Structure 1
Amino acid sequence: MIDKISSTFGSWPILKQIEKNNPERRFITLSSTSIHNDFQLLDVSGKPSVFANPLIYQIKFHTGNFVWNGFYRFSFMTLSKEEIKVLDAKIAQLATPSRLPLGLNDLFVLQPQNHFNERIILTIWQLDSDYAIWRRSKSFSPFKIYSDSGAYDYHDSNYTAYQLHSLQS
Structure 2
Amino acid sequence: MITRLSITYGSQQVLSDLQKRYSDRPMILLDSSTSGEQLALLDVSGQESVFSSPVHYDIKLHRGTTDWQGFINFIYLANLSADDQKVFNSKANHFVTTEAMPEGMRSIYFMKDQKNRSNNIILSTWETTEDFAVWKHDPSFKPFNYFLTTQNNYHEASYHPVEPS
Does TM-score exceed 0.5, indicating one fold?
A: yes
Corresponding residue number in structure 2 for 1:153: 153
The question of whether the paired residues in 2 share the 8 Å contact of 1:58 and 1:110 is answered with yes
Q: Secondary structure at the match of 1:19?
A: helix
Which digits, 9 at most, give the CA deviation of each residue in 1:74-117, with x for residues without a partner? Answer: 11111123222211221222224652111111100111112111
Structure 1 range deviating more: 39-48 or 90-99: 90-99
Corresponding residue number in structure 2 for 1:83: 84
Q: How far, CA to CA, are the matches of 2:23 and 2:160 in structure 1?
A: 22
The question of whether the paired residues in 1 share the 8 Å contact of 2:3 and 2:59 is answered with yes
Any stretches of 5+ residues in structure 2 without a counterpart?
none
Corresponding residue number in structure 1 for 2:21: 21
The question of whether the paired residues in 2 share the 8 Å contact of 1:103 and 1:125 is answered with yes
TM-score (norm 2): 0.91
User: How many residue pairs were aligned?
Assistant: 163
Q: How does 1:1-169 map to 2 (within 5 A)?
A: 1-33=1-33, 36-78=36-78, 79-96=80-97, 98-147=99-148, 149-163=149-163
Q: How far, CA to CA, are the matches of 1:97 and 1:145 in structure 2?
A: 20
Q: How far, CA to CA, are the matches of 2:134 and 2:119 in structure 1?
A: 26
Corresponding residue number in structure 2 for 1:167: none
Which runs of structure 1 show a deviation greater than 3 angstroms over 4 or more consecutive aligned residues?
33-36
Structure 1 letter corresponding to 2:110: V
Q: Secondary structure at the match of 2:66?
A: coil
Q: How far, CA to CA, are the matches of 2:117 and 2:25 in structure 1?
A: 27
Q: How far, CA to CA, are the matches of 1:143 and 1:3 in structure 2?
A: 23
Considering only aligned residues, what root-mean-square deviation do their CA atoms show, in Å? 1.7
Which digits, 9 at most, give the CA deviation of each residue in 1:39-75, with x for residues without a partner? Answer: 1000111111000111111111111111111111111
Structure 1 letter corresponding to 2:82: K
Q: How far, CA to CA, are the matches of 1:74 and 1:146 in structure 2?
A: 14
Structure 1 letter corresponding to 2:53: N
Any stretches of 5+ residues in structure 1 without a counterpart?
165-169
The question of whether the paired residues in 2 share the 8 Å contact of 1:74 and 1:122 is answered with yes
